[in-house]
A and B are shown apart, each in its own frame.
Chain A
Amino acid sequence: MATEIQTIELPKAQLDSQIIVAEQVVAGYRDNIVWSNASFTIGQGQFIAVIGPNGAGKTTLFRLLLGIQQPKSGEILVFGEHPKKGNSRIGYVPQQHKIDNDLTVQALELVRLGASGNSWGISLFSDEDRKLALNSLRAVGAEKLAQRSLNGLSGGELQKVFLAEALVSNPDVLLLDEPLTGLDIRAEQELLGLVYDIVQTRNVTALIVAHDINPLLPFLDKIVYIANGKVATGTPDEVLTTESLSSLYGSHVEVLHDSKGNIAIIGIHESHERVKQR
C-alpha cells in the first residue's frame, strides 16, 4: 500500500522513462561528420526543442531517430531499440513539406494515408482508416479542413493537417522538423499550444526543430542545441547561458535576456554554419 502511494507521488522527472538514449553518437554522411560525441536522454512526455544554425545537423538527428540514417559510431536507442524505418510509434512531419499548387487532394485523404498508407493491397469496404483520420483531424481542431483541397490551405492549416497525419497512428514520439517556418505569430502560437496539449494529455514526447528558441521557451522541458559539430543538451536554464553556448561554439557568445524573458544570442558567426546537406 505504502509503496503504491510513493510511486504515485514520485516527481515527474523520476517517472520519466527514458525513451531516447544517445551514447557518444557521431552523425554524418560518408566521410563527412556533421556532429559528434552527442550523449543525452529524452524522457516520456517531454517537450524538446532542437535548436541550432542552418546545416548544423538538426534534421540529421531526426533521420537517425527514424532509422533512415545510421550513426557513424556510438549508439542511439529509441524505445530501447536501434531505430528502424516504419516505426509506427514515431510520428514525423518533415521539413518544407511541399504541396503542389494544382494538387487537388483533400486533407482527409492525406491524413488517412498516415494510418493505412503502408498497407499493401486494396480494401474496398473498410472505412477504419477514414474514421481514424477524421478523429485525428478533430484532435488537432482541424476537422473543418477534412474535405478541403490541400492546395487551398494556408501554412498554418497545412501544418495542422500534417500534425494530424503524424498523430493518426497514435505515436509516442512526435518529430516536427521546422513546423513554424512561414507561420505568422498567431499560427505559431496556436500550433505550439496544440503540440503542448498533445504532450500533456497523451504523454507524447515532442521534438521540434526551430530556428528561434523564443516562441518555444514557455513550453520547453529540454533543449538539444546543435552547433559547431557539437551537441549540448539540458534544460533551457542550463543550455542557454553564456558559458555553455560559448563552449559549444568554441568562441565567446553572449546570451542576453530581455525583461519578458526572451533571449538573444550575440556573437554567432555565420562561418560556423555548414553547407546544408541532405
Chain B
Amino acid sequence: MLYYTFIVHAFEAGTIIAIVGGVIGYFVVLRRSAFAAHALSHIGFAGAAGAVVLNLFYPWVTPLYGLLAFTTGGAAAMAGLGKRASQRDMSIGITLAFMLGLGSLFITLYGIYGAAFSEEAYSILFGDIFGITTLNVVITLLAGMILLLLTSFIYRPLLFSSLDQEVAEAKGMPTLRLGLVFMLLLAVATSIAVQIIGVLLIFSLLVTPAAVAQQVTTRPSRAILVSVIVAVVATWLGIFISYYINFPASFFITSLSFGAYLIARYVYPKVRPSSILRGRAQESEETKEHTHESSKEIPAIPERTG
C-alpha cells in the first residue's frame, strides 16, 4: 500500500499531527481548555470555508491559510478574555456560533460562484487524509517542528502555570502571556490537524489521547509520551484499516482513540490494582525508575498497600 503517494502522505502528515496533538492535547486537558479547543476548530471552519471561496479568485489561497488566519486570531481573542474558564465559556460559545454561521455563508458563496460545494465542506468538516499534497506535508512538518520546539522551551513554566497559576505568578512567571502563547500553539496545531481529521473530529487527536494518558499515569512527562503513542497508533491503524475497508479514516481514528479511552477508564483500573485513581503508587514503574536514576541519594519510596 505504500506504493501509492497519497497513502505515504497520509502516514507522514498523520504521524506529525498525532505527535503534535498528543503533546498539545495534554496541556488542553490539564488547562481545562477543551471547550476553547473545540471553538478554535469551528473558528477554523469559517476560515477554511472563506479560503475555499477566495481560492476561486486567488488560486494560491488554500484552506490552510484561512484556518491559520482565523484560529490564531480567535486564539488571541480568547486568551484576552481572561483566565477564568467559567467567564470565558459564554463568550467562547457566542463566538463559536457566529463563526459557524459565517462558515455556512462562505460554503453557500462557494456554491454560488463555484460548482459542487459539498465535497469541500465535507473535507473541512470531517478531514480528507488521502487528499494531502507534498506541499501540505512539508508545511505540516515545519509547523509541527516549530510547535514542538516552542512547547519544549516553555514546558515547565507552562506546566507550572497550568497546575498552580498563583504560585507560578508569584515566582515571576508571565502566566497570562504563557496562556496566550499556548492558545496560539493550539491554534496552529488545530489548523494543521483539520486537514487530517476535520473540524468536527479534532478532539479525537487533541483531547482523547491526553485523556487516556491522564488515566494511566500521574507524571506529566509520561502522560505526554502515552498521549503521543495513543494518537500515533490510532492514526496509523486508522489509515491502515481505511485502506483495506473503504470507510473514512477519520471514523477509524476517532473510534480507536475512543476505544483506548474506554479501556483506560474502565478496564485499566481493574487489571492494575495499584491504580492511580485510588491514589496509590505505581509500584513497578517507580521502583524501576528509582533503582535506575537515583539509587544512592534517594531511598526507594516505600510501596503502599492501602
CB < 8 Å: which of A113, A127, A144 contacts B164? A113
Report chain A residues within 8 Å CB of B278. 152
> Which of B36-44, B215-223, B233-241 forms contacts with chain A?
B215-223
Q: Per-residue 0/1 for B163-206: is the Cβ within 8 Å of any A Cβ (1 yes, 0 no)?
A: 11011111111000000000000000000000000000000000
A121 at the interface (CB under 8 A from B): yes
**CB pair A117 B157 closer than 8 Å:** yes
**CB pair B215 A104 closer than 8 Å:** yes
B293 at the interface (CB under 8 A from A): yes
Q: How far is the CB of B132 from chain A (nearest CB, A)?
A: 30
Q: Per-residue 0/1 for A84-110: is the Cβ within 8 Å of any B Cβ (1 yes, 0 no)?
A: 111110101110010010111110011
Are A143 and B301 also in contact (CB < 8 A) when A68-B170, A121-B152 are?
yes
**CB pair B157 A120 closer than 8 Å:** yes
Question: 8 Å CB contacts to A: which residues of B81-103?
Answer: none
Q: Per-residue 0/1 for B271-299: is the Cβ within 8 Å of any A Cβ (1 yes, 0 no)?
A: 00000111111100010000001100110
**CB pair A149 B159 closer than 8 Å:** no
Are A113 and B215 also in contact (CB < 8 A) when A94-B167, A127-B293, A127-B294 are?
no
Q: How far is the CA of A153 from the CA of B277 in the complex (A)?
A: 11
**CB pair B170 A85 closer than 8 Å:** yes
Report chain A residues within 8 Å CB of B215. 104
Q: How far is the CA of A105 from the CA of B304 in the complex (A)?
A: 17
Question: 8 Å CB contacts to A: which residues of B129-186?
Answer: 152-157, 159-160, 163-164, 166-173
Report chain B residues within 8 Å CB of A149. 218, 276-277, 279
**CB pair A131 B160 closer than 8 Å:** no
Q: How far is the CA of A86 from the CA of B157 in the complex (A)?
A: 12
B59 at the interface (CB under 8 A from A): no
B214 at the interface (CB under 8 A from A): yes
Q: How far is the CB of A22 from chain B (nearest CB, A)?
A: 19
CB < 8 Å: which of A131, A143, A148, A153 contacts B297? A131
Q: How far is the CA of A102 from the CA of B219 in the complex (A)?
A: 14
A6 at the interface (CB under 8 A from B): no
Q: How far is the CA of A84 from the CA of B171 in the complex (A)?
A: 9
**CB pair A92 B294 closer than 8 Å:** no
**CB pair B160 A117 closer than 8 Å:** yes
**CB pair A152 B168 closer than 8 Å:** no
Report chain A residues within 8 Å CB of B167. 92-94, 114, 165-166
* A93 closest partner in B (C-beta): B167
* A166 closest partner in B (C-beta): B167
Are A113 and B156 also in contact (CB < 8 A) when A85-B170, A147-B301 are?
yes
A252 at the interface (CB under 8 A from B): no
Are A104 and B214 also in contact (CB < 8 A) when A120-B153, A127-B294, A148-B279 are?
yes
Q: How far is the CA of A68 from the CA of B167 in the complex (A)?
A: 11
Q: How far is the CA of A106 from the CA of B220 in the complex (A)?
A: 9
CB < 8 Å: which of B32, B152, B293, B302 contacts A122? B152
For chain A, the count of residues having a C-beta within 8 Å of the partner chain is 44
**CB pair A117 B156 closer than 8 Å:** yes
Q: How far is the CA of A117 from the CA of B172 in the complex (A)?
A: 10
B30 at the interface (CB under 8 A from A): yes
CB < 8 Å: which of B220, B297, B298, B301 contacts A109? B220
**CB pair B172 A134 closer than 8 Å:** no
Q: Per-residue 0/1 for A120-135: is the Cβ within 8 Å of any B Cβ (1 yes, 0 no)?
A: 1110000100110010
CB < 8 Å: which of A86, A106, A130 contacts B171? A86
Q: How far is the CA of A102 from the CA of B29 in the complex (A)?
A: 10
CB < 8 Å: which of B30, B157, B280, B304 contacts A103? B30
Report chain B residues within 8 Å CB of A253. none
A201 at the interface (CB under 8 A from B): no
A263 at the interface (CB under 8 A from B): no
**CB pair B220 A105 closer than 8 Å:** yes
Q: How far is the CA of A245 from the CA of B169 in the complex (A)?
A: 35
**CB pair B163 A85 closer than 8 Å:** no
Q: How far is the CA of A116 from the CA of B221 in the complex (A)?
A: 14
* B173 closest partner in A (C-beta): A118
Q: How far is the CB of A129 from chain B (nearest CB, A)?
A: 9
A66 at the interface (CB under 8 A from B): yes
**CB pair A94 B218 closer than 8 Å:** no
A146 at the interface (CB under 8 A from B): yes
Q: How far is the CB of B58 from chain A (nearest CB, A)?
A: 40
Q: How far is the CB of A156 from chain B (nearest CB, A)?
A: 14
Q: How far is the CA of A94 from the CA of B304 in the complex (A)?
A: 30
CB < 8 Å: which of A106, A113, A116, A121 contacts B218? A106
Between-chain CB contacts (< 8 Å), 30 pairs: A85-B171, A85-B172, A86-B171, A86-B172, A86-B173, A88-B171, A90-B170, A92-B166, A92-B167, A94-B166, A97-B164, A97-B166, A103-B214, A105-B163, A105-B218, A106-B219, A106-B276, A110-B163, A110-B164, A117-B157, A117-B173, A118-B156, A118-B172, A118-B173, A121-B152, A122-B155, A143-B301, A147-B218, A149-B277, A151-B279
The 10 A-B pairs at the shortest CB distance, nearest first, are namely A86-B172, A152-B279, A117-B160, A106-B218, A94-B166, A85-B172, A147-B281, A113-B160, A148-B279, A66-B170
